[in-house]
Structure 1
């Protein structure tokens, strides 16, 4: 829609650029043409009707009133009053009311309709028309004509410039509105583009944080456990080191997949990219923490229901980050994950039974830790709460919709 508005605005500007750069020259040419029309109008009369005696001063005033039109841009109402007064005086003198004689007044009324508001147009148009008809009806040249002819003709002629000027004003307002809408659409598109770039950067930052922080924390825990068991239980230590190799390999794969999203335009049909992780990989996630010495129990309440890809990824990342916080900050060696399917929402609770020690606060720059989990939940229309438990330990609770609304999906695309 905005593209069509821009094209139309360009055509309007091209049309406007065809006008000469000397508007005063056009005004002078218009005045000279009106003087010629008014002069010719004073020479016309009805057959069998004696024309009025030549009144040179009135004819001069009629010509001078045309020059007043040069001020129509700045003194529109004054121009109408002056030209109307001279024209009515000419008709009262006995000159035949014709479009040629009315040409200066018609031009003044046209610019009144173009430049003034509707109330002013109606008031001036009514007063001038009534005055013109009154003088015309009682003038000597019109006494022998039918009143219908003396009324219908002047009313029709006076209506033409008012209607034409009003249409020109409406068209000008419409073109201004089209231009304003095109400019607004341009600004809105730029702002929306900046917003989408910022949202995409935030999304990528959250993905990188979840991937790197989780695997590094897990690798650190596994390395520490292996070092602790190196002398007392070498066999178990070697097993943990084997798991550490798998952890680092998994980190590299997920990091490659995340960064590959930035290059997917260069790959046909997403070639070489792994699917986004979801709750189907939860057993693998739980086993990786168990190898690091953290016992994770998973409990489900209610019948499992299908999740949209966005909700599935969000649920997995929140559980991953919550368990990472337990491994990094809590002194407990066990964590509990509970999934509750109720109505149209999924409630996820991750808790530990250790001392009430909260995870490290998120940096002011945002996108880390608890803030990252909360942003993920809110991005699909969910909620997240985190804090110490009264009986000890720490708990993260989030409620996610099973199927986000269309508006939320559009914002997170």
Structure 2
């Protein structure tokens, strides 16, 4: 049901109709009808003033104006004066109530017009019936159209609200995944380097100093990325524009990522095949995060395991593979925080139309292989969703 109009507007409409009905009634003598007297003026008011409440109690108002109309017509006054209020209320009923109710009200109003023609030989029955059917049909049709338009608008607003809630949920999921990746990788490096520094603190101060330097750099990068991610949650806060503008990790930063893992004691080989070219930001972020997650798990769950990271730029896709020779690697290890490591990889790949496989290699060790489309049709619209 539509929101009721302000009383002031309906009051002005009712007063305007009273004025128009009185002016028309004053000319009834010229048309051969009795002159309006005090009783007629009261009935004119009763036929139009209840319109003030038409949006709040439309059926009650319809009944009231029809009763006043019947009394007015029964006393032999000019019947045309009795059409303004009832027609407007019929339109209101059709605009806020089901069609069957509006049709029933239209039948009642038609019967009143037929009654006026029956009791007064100055009116033609056929003309009264035709006019009643025409005007009542118009009022019901317009009212029904307005009601359906209002219902569609409410449905659209509800769908937009639901879509907004869905987008908020997706954004929160993306942020949670980002925080998982950032925290998991950097804390793994920090943990390994802290253990190394404590082990060699007395025997090899230079190595301990290098480990502490790596911890300092890694923790600084972790804080920078976490600060940028958290600023997404409060875009209206001061300084959020600078944070939001901070660059997202790309494949160009893989060298830094590999160096951090090497500093953690895992030999990592990085190789690139094909023509290196810029890709959609979302695609590059997806590839970077998958490599980061895979190397984090190598760092945490394998010992003395060399790893290989390979990028293969093809015409319409990017293939990323991370393999290691560790004997203890298995799919259960891809659950570094809350069991979301492997799930996060698969969600990222699916988001950008790619595929990912995680499992043991035939020759031993473990491998993660990611394939992402780089064509506009394969990645553009998915990338826009992550911006």
> Structure 2-normalised TM-score?
0.69
Paired position in structure 2 for 1:315: 287
Residue in 2 that maps onto 1:111: none
CA distance in 1, matches of 2:146, 2:76: 33
Deviations 1:344-380 (A, max 9, x none): 22111111122252343549977x3111222222233
Give ranges in structure 1 of 5+ residues lacking alignment.
1-5, 41-70, 103-131, 133-153
Q: In structure 2, which of residues 133, 136, 144 is the aligned counterpart of residue 162 of structure 1?
A: 133
Give me the whole-angstrom Cα distance separating, in 1, the residues matched to 2:70 and 2:279.
77
1:176 pairs with one of 139, 147, 164: 147
Equivalent in 327, 336, 340 of residue 308 of structure 2: 336
Q: Corresponding residue for 1:202? A: 173
Query: 1:292: Cα distance to partner?
Result: 0.9
What residue in structure 2 maps to residue 252 of structure 1? Answer: 223
Distance 1:234 1:202 in 2: 43
Aligned to 1:412: 386
Q: Post-superposition shift, 1:325?
A: 0.9
* Counterpart Cα distance in 1 of 2:318 and 2:274: 10
2:264 pairs, out of 282, 292, 317, with 292
Q: Residue 359 of structure 2: which of 382, 387, 411 is its match? A: 387
The match for 2:68 among 25, 29, 41 is: 29
Distance 1:373 1:216 in 2: 19
**Which is higher, the Rg of structure 1 or of structure 2?**
1
- Partners of 2:235 and 2:270 lie apart in 1 by 35
Once the two structures are superposed, residues 52-101 of structure 1 have per-residue CA deviations (whole angstroms, 9 ceiling, x without a partner) of xxxxxxxxxxxxxxxxxxx997697799799979979x9xxxx96x6x24
Q: Return the offset for 1:247.
A: 1.9
Classify 1:362/1:177 alpha carbon distance in 2 versus 1 (closer, same or farther; 3 Å): farther
Q: Say whether residues 1:238 and 2:238 are aligned partners.
A: no
Contact residue 280 and residue 379 of structure 2 kept, 8 A:
no
Counterpart CA distance in 2 for 1:383 and 1:252 is 31
Distance 1:175 1:72 in 2: 13
Q: Is the 8 A contact 2:228 2:243 kept in 1?
A: no
Structure 1 match to 2:38: none
Measured in 2, the distance between the counterparts of 1:309 and 1:396 equals: 21
**Deviation digits for residues 187-228 of structure 1, max 9, x if unmatched?**
223222322221222122112111111111011122233344
Shift in Å, 1:332: 4.5
| TM-score, length basis structure 1 | 0.65
The within-5 A match list for 1:3-18 is: none
| Unaligned ranges ≥5, structure 2 | 15-50, 54-59, 80-100
Inter-partner Cα distance in structure 2 for 1:258 and 1:317: 14
How far has the Cα of 1:275 moved from its partner? 1.7
For residues 203 and 239 of structure 1, what CA distance do their matches in structure 2 show? 34
For residue 358 of structure 1, the aligned residue among 331, 334, 339 is 331
Q: How do 1:58-77 and structure 2 match up within 5 A? A: none
RMSD after superposition = 3.8
Change (3 A) 1:263 1:20: closer
Moved more, 341-350 or 77-86: 77-86
Does the Cα contact within 8 Å between 2:196 and 2:208 map onto a contact in 1? yes
Shift in alpha-carbon separation, 1:407–1:181, aligned structure 2, 3 A: farther
Measure the CA separation in 2 of the matches of 1:197 and 1:72.
42
Aligned equivalents of 2:244 and 2:214: distance in 1?
A: 25
SS of alignment partner, residue 68 of structure 2: helix
CA separation of 1:385/1:163 partners in 2, compared to 1, >3 Å: closer, same or farther?
A: farther
Change (3 A) 1:20 1:189: same
**Residues 208 and 337 (structure 1 numbering): CA distance in 2 closer, same or farther, change over 3 Å?**
same
**Cα distance, 1:309–1:222 mapped onto 2, change above 3 Å:** same
Q: Cα distance 1:364–1:73, how it changes in 2: closer, same or farther (>3 A)?
A: farther
Q: CA offset at residue 282 of structure 1?
A: 1.0
Structure 2 CA distance for aligned equivalents of residues 73 and 177 of structure 1: 16
- Contact 1:325 1:359 survives alignment (8 Å): no
**Displacement, 1:254?**
2.3
Q: Structure 1 residues 13 and 247, CA, compared in 2 at 3 Å: closer, same or farther?
A: same
8 Å CA contact retained: 2:102, 2:140 = no
